[in-house]
Every structure is written in C-alpha cells, then in structure tokens.
Amino acid sequence: MAASMELSLNNLPSDPLLLMLSFLDFRDLISCSFVSRRLNELSGHNPLWKGLCLKHWLLTESDKIQKVQTWKELFREFYTDLGRYIDHYGTLKKAWDDLKRYLDQQCPRMIASLKEGAKEEELDGIEAQICCKLSDDYRCSYRIHNGQKLVVPGLMGSMALSNHYRSEDLLDIETAAGGFQQRKGMRQCLPLTFCFHTGLSQYMALEGTEGRSRSEIFYHCPDQMAQDPSAIDMFITGSSFTEWFTSYVHNVVTGEYPIIRDQIFRYVHDKQCVATTGDITVSVSTSFLPELSSVHPPHFFFTYRIRIEMAKDALPENACQLDSRYWKITNANGNVEEVRGPGVVGEFPVMTPGKVHEYASCTTFSTTSEYMEGHYTFHRLKNKEEIFDVCIPRFHMVCPPFRESIVRSQGSARDVSSASFNEDNSSDTDDHNEGELRGINMAAPGGRCPRHI
C-alpha cells in the first residue's frame, strides 16, 4: 500500500487557493491572513484587493498609478478614512459620478454649484450641535459632496407653471443644521432641500418619532382643517437617504426627468402614454406638486406636459391647426367629468411637417388618483371644412404615499397610498386664469377643489 500523504496547505497549488479566496469579502480575507503563513501570503495577493477596491471604493488602475501603492495599501488607506461607510460608499459614489457625468453634458453650470465633501470632524460637530445622530448613508454622501451652493436652478429638480416656480437646492450640512426642527409635529427632522421661491423643503426624520419612521424623507403638509398647528401630514418621497437619492439620480440620467432650459424638470413619462393619429403624435408626462396640495382637506394638484408632433415626412398639404380640446376625466371613485374648450392654454397651434408644440397645464382633484384621456380637433389649412380628431392617450395621476398627522389620527399614524375620499371633483385647467394658482391649496371647508373650467 502506498504511504498516505499528509494533507497540508503548503502542498496545495496556489491557483485553486487564490480562486477560493477571491470569493471572500475583505473581512474574511483579513481573517484568513491570521490562520497560517501560507494563507497570510496568499491573502495579500494584489489582484484580490484590486477587485475589493473596485467593489467598495470604485478605484481604477489610474487611481493606483497616481497613489503609487499596492491595491491592498490603497484599500487600507480608504478604509481608514471611510471604513464606517463601506456598506454605502460604492452605491452613493456611483450615483454621484453618474449624475455629474450626465450633467456635464446636459447642463454643466449645475456642476459648478456642487461643494467639496465635508470632513468627518465637521459631521461630528453637526451631530453635537443638533444633539442627534445622522444616518451613515447621509454622512457618506456628504463626505463625497457637501450639497450645493444656494443657486437657481437647484440640483434636486424644478417645476414651472405660468405663475408658479419651484427649484430645489440640495442643502449643505451647515445650512441644513440651521433648519433642524424641534417644534412639535416636526421634531428631529432635518431639511435636505430648499426652494427660494416657495419655501418648500424635503425633510429627513433623524429619529422615529411622532408617527414617522427613522430616515423617512417627506414633504411636510400642514393640516388645514385642524386647529392645532402641530397637525402636519406628510407626502412620503423616500424610505432612506440612499433610496431617495439614487432613485432620483436614476430618473435624471436615464432621461426620465427631462432637461428643459438647463434645468431638471421632475416630469414622469409613462412610455405607454403615446398615441399617433395619422401624421400627429401626442405624448404626455405628469408631475405631482406637493406645495399646492393638501391631505386635509383632500386636494391634490398635478401638472401635465403635452407634446404634439407632426411627422417630418408628412405631406405639406396635411398642415393643420388645432381648434379645440375634449377631456374625459375619471377619478378614483369612478365618477366621470367631461370638459370641452377652445384651443390649449389660449393657443391654437399650427402643425406643419416636423413641427413640435409643447405646453404645460394643470388639474386638481380630491381623490388620490384619476386619469384623463380625450382628443384634439383640428382642421386642414388648405380646406377648413376638413375636420378630424387626434387622440390624447390615457394618462394616470396618482398621489404619492402620505401619512396623516399623529394629532389627527389620535396617536397612531397610518399610511395611505390608494384610499379615496367621498368628495369628487376635478378640473381641466388648460384655460386657467393666470391669477388663480396662488393659494390654491386652500380648498373650501367642504374639501372640494376649486374649478377653473
């Protein structure tokens, strides 16, 4: 019988051992280095740490060349500085890099407003100032960029109507700390954004209190029917800083949020909201305006942007002019309202081959969702008696999830995302009066939305 060979790590070839080590995370790789001299040598293998540097710190070969270090030394340097954020850094750094790369091509002046990252001691000082802990993902993002300068347009998106404008800046940590809330109804809430024109902010709850979940991000919405000023409802925009920021960046860099006049507009376009009739295509995108909405009374304000385009290869004799519009509006309770009117926002656009006409309008309703559809009526320029309809695709408008004030719900906040209310009212405002948007969130005591038809 052949003598048995004692199994030892020293007798095993390096390649299969390195392959097994390549599946380990950095913590396990470091642990292996203490097992034996052989594993200590193998666990320092440069390609192993190259993969970990890419995974956790997004470091590339050029970063290594600039630092003149081994991959393991480079990993150690970044871990010493940013180790507490290792579960967040890769995701947030990629989001920031993607956003800057995209904006550099689309609206470079916005890049210039970004601030350099905050230092660790500065974040510690802010926590001491507000006597509250910041979440690690928030801190991590602010180590990369400390928000932006207070400029217009803001990094976190804009919205414009005829006499209403919103543009949100991402606040730096010092400015945010100055707006930290301790008043009843908003305790332990830190502002993330700010709009000069409306005073609107999105807040992050630093503690789970007053019915909020920790790290939840929201627009605050005072309950206009309550006598207690601390009765504040919330339109929820994110469950954590990472989810809130990365989803916003995704919408920007994929073109879901369009760039209009060097600004990011937070319109949402459903790819199914496109209809073509003959040579004319109509597409629709929508956006919810929390600053003009309220939960109590139920009053939800949406703007929609419509693009009408005539095909470039259309025959010149097919040129036409829009005469009127027809809307069929259905709310969450199934109630239907029909609206007819001349033109669109006071205009009667002429469509010729290749021409695009875009306009924005708005609607208000008192249920948490509704949809609109309809048609435009055109006539041919060469023959005014030739009249035809162009389909407007059905588009849905759904209020974001909201939470009612703990004051109103008597000690227990509840989430509402699809509930409807008894009052039914909506309005097409293609021909809205220029002065009627101011204070529109002050609905009548009965909860009915003001009409503009």
- In angstroms, the CA 151 to CA 149 distance is 6
Higher pLDDT, 226 or 442: 226
Residues 205-212 have a mean pLDDT of: 94
What pLDDT was estimated at residue 429? Answer: 55
Can you give the pTM of this predicted structure?
Answer: 0.85
What pLDDT was estimated at residue 428? Answer: 61
* pLDDT higher than threshold 60 for residue 451: no
At 41-58, the pLDDT tens digits run 898 898 999 999 999 999
Higher pLDDT, 229 or 372: 372
Average pLDDT value for the chain: 88
CA 340 to chain centre: 34
What pLDDT was estimated at residue 224? Answer: 83
* pLDDT higher than threshold 70 for residue 430: no
What pLDDT was estimated at residue 55? Answer: 93
What pLDDT was estimated at residue 427? Answer: 55
* pLDDT higher than threshold 90 for residue 271: no
At 197-207, the pLDDT tens digits run 999 999 999 99
What pLDDT was estimated at residue 300? Answer: 95
User: Residue 46: which of 67, 16, 18 has the closest Cα?
Assistant: 18
- In angstroms, the CA 65 to CA 50 distance is 12
* pLDDT higher than threshold 50 for residue 223: yes
What pLDDT was estimated at residue 436? Answer: 31
At 346-394, the pLDDT tens digits run 999 999 999 999 999 999 999 999 999 999 999 999 999 999 999 999 9
At 107-143, the pLDDT tens digits run 998 999 999 999 999 999 999 999 999 999 999 999 9
Residues 222-232 have a mean pLDDT of: 87
* pLDDT higher than threshold 50 for residue 24: yes
| Percent of the chain topping pLDDT 90 | 73
What pLDDT was estimated at residue 65? Answer: 85
At 139-178, the pLDDT tens digits run 999 999 999 999 999 999 999 988 899 999 999 999 999 9
Higher pLDDT, 424 or 121: 121
What six digits make up the tokens of 295?
């939960």
Domains of the chain plus CATH, in order, are 16-85 (no CATH), 89-250 (3.40.1580.10), 267-401 (2.60.40.1470)
What pLDDT was estimated at residue 232? Answer: 93
Residues 261-279 have a mean pLDDT of: 93
At 236-248, the pLDDT tens digits run 999 999 999 999 9
| Percent of the chain topping pLDDT 70 | 88
Residues 95-118 have a mean pLDDT of: 95
At 280-290, the pLDDT tens digits run 999 999 999 99
